[in-house]
Amino acid sequence: MTTKLQWTLRFILVLAFLLTSLPSARADTTVVTSDATIVVTSDSRIPLPIATIFGVPTEPFSPVGLYHQVWQVVKEKYFDTAKLEKLQWNSLEHAYDEQIKTEADAEAAIKTLLAKLGDRYTRFLGRRSAAEQDTQLEGKFGGIGASFGYAYSKEGQWIKNAKDEHMPFADENGYPVVATVYLNTPAEKAGILPGDAVVSIDGRTSKGLSFDDFVDSVKGDPKTQVKLEILRNGKSMTLTITREEIEIPNVVVRKLPNNIGYIRIVSFMGGKTRSQLLDALWDLKDADSLIIDLRDNPGGLMLPTINMAAFCLDANQKIMIWRYRNGNQIVRQDYDRALGYPNFSNEGKRKPMALLVNEGSASASEIFAGALVDNGRAVLVGTRTYGKGLVQIVQHLPGGYACDITIAGWNTPKDYSVGNGDGKNSALAPTPERTVTLNKGQYIDLVNDVVGKDSEVDLKNDPQLLRATEVVQAMKSNSNDAAAK
């Protein structure tokens, strides 16, 4: 059984889902802007819990025009209008016109402009970052089907290079280590295993490469080849692998001892996540209780999150409270029926349920957890969540640029704010008796090399999961006692 090497942190989950691609939903449950549905997301480096996509403005591209377009979209959509007034935002429209001669000038001016907001989640994206974002919007990429993690120190701090770039998790020789190999992918077919070290890519040493540069070298267009030198247990091998279009599974289902159903939601990204949860609930319909693992789940799409929470709630129960610049809106349970999904009165709703969470559970994970906990449907086990309750849009800009802009926030059904992602918040936290702390990478990874395979699970290797099984068993026993009376 392999341990978890922080593989989930390699994803940049900034996603979007256009309203025009969705079936119609009831007006009292739909959370939309004038032209797009709001979605929930998170960046593995800068958690961005909610985002939506807006098309490229029609204004011709110029460096000064780029600056003006960012200024305009912030004026129209930024959620804190009081802050804009305090900053005298209108006076900043032409503040840097004389200094902007090139695209580099425009980028510097835009970053200076956005810094005045004091909101690190409202940020300008260069071409590379914007392109990465677009790749993730599709939920697919060209690659080999293996993932890698960020390097971190013994103190749990990220390791970066002199350019402030993340470094990949590596072995003692400095070679990046494979964290995950997904089933039915080129990496698995080639025989790559979690824990293998990648010595070189197409003859270029991997040592010293930043995380992004390393991953970009391994990824590539489908049907192209990449040659990897792999080091395993001191033995070297060279593999030539043909890349394919990779779609990462977001929901994994297992059966644990004592007839406990286990569902791991890796992220809330992609249009298939909700149907995957639906399938998982059907697969576990005979289980006595459920554990849903949200650990290190950094976020995803809003609509699947709402749907997935709705599967486990009763009709008309609150899922979240949406706070935008013109008022509040309550999002209720009826989304699953509005989108054609059956209402799970038995399979998804009445089983004792525990949600596993940790500091990597952010944004959409917190929406899902907050909805179930506030409605008394589930209890939390693990450690406190990340605490991110702000909302961003992704605005495409001319020239291949983009900008993330905070447009709103959200609260749990009981009107509790999980915070602004600045560490000065209470987030969501299990009760003391259900709080179990772990070292990074300690818990069992039921997604990696065991996904889709039958194998025994030693719960002692994962104290949080073990505690969750004890909690749901106690809940089951209590419900049986109450029924007997």
Q: Is the pLDDT score of 328 beyond 70? A: yes
Q: What's the average model confidence in pLDDT over 29-38?
A: 28
- 4 inside domain: no
Residues 315 and 376 grouped into a single domain:
yes
- 87 inside domain: yes
Q: Using 50, 70 and 90 to split pLDDT, how confident is the model at 1?
A: very low
Q: Is the pLDDT score of 481 beyond 80? A: no
| CATH classification at residue 301 | 3.90.226.10
- 62 inside domain: yes
Residues 470 and 445 grouped into a single domain:
yes
The one-letter code for the residue type at 437 is: T
- 462 inside domain: yes
Q: Is the pLDDT score of 245 beyond 70? A: yes
More confident residue, 411 or 131: 411
Buried-exposed string 245-276: b where 16+ CB fall within 10 A, e elsewhere? ebebbbbbbbebeeebbbbbbbbbbbeebbeb
- 394 inside domain: no
Residue where one domain finishes, among candidates 212, 246, 280: 246
Looking at residue 378, its pLDDT comes to 94
Looking at residue 250, its pLDDT comes to 82
Residue where one domain finishes, among candidates 113, 137, 161: 137
Q: What's the average model confidence in pLDDT over 17-27?
A: 23
The total of structural domains in the chain comes to 3
Q: What's the average model confidence in pLDDT over 332-346?
A: 52
| CATH classification at residue 240 | 2.30.42.10
Residues 453 and 349 grouped into a single domain:
yes
Q: Report the chain's mean pLDDT, rounded to a whole number.
A: 78
Q: What's the average model confidence in pLDDT over 267-294?
A: 86
Residues 58 and 103 grouped into a single domain:
yes
The two three-digit tokens of residue 125, written as one number: 């994206």
Q: Is the pLDDT score of 446 beyond 70? A: no
Q: Is the pLDDT score of 332 beyond 90? A: no
The 8 Å CB, 24+ separation contacts for 92-99 are 92/116, 93/68, 96/67, 97/64, 97/67
Q: Is the pLDDT score of 309 beyond 50? A: yes
The one-letter code for the residue type at 124 is: F
Residues 132 and 145 grouped into a single domain:
no
- 30 inside domain: yes
Residue where one domain finishes, among candidates 246, 268, 296: 246
Domain holding 201, by residue range, is 141-246
The two three-digit tokens of residue 155, written as one number: 């103190």
Identify whether the C-beta of residue 173 lies closer than 8 Å to the C-beta of residue 197.
Answer: yes
Identify whether the C-beta of residue 95 lies closer than 8 Å to the C-beta of residue 51.
Answer: no
The one-letter code for the residue type at 291 is: I
CA distance 393 to 282: 34
Does pTM surpass 0.95? Answer: no
Write the pLDDT tens digit of every residue in 342-351. Answer: 444 444 457 8
Q: What's the average model confidence in pLDDT over 143-157?
A: 78
Q: What's the average model confidence in pLDDT over 118-141?
A: 79
- 408 inside domain: no
Residues 242 and 273 grouped into a single domain:
no
Residues 63 and 182 grouped into a single domain:
no
- 437 inside domain: yes
- Across 284-416, the runs of DSSP E, i.e. the strands, are 289-293, 318-324, 327-332, 353-357, 379-382, 390-396, 402-411
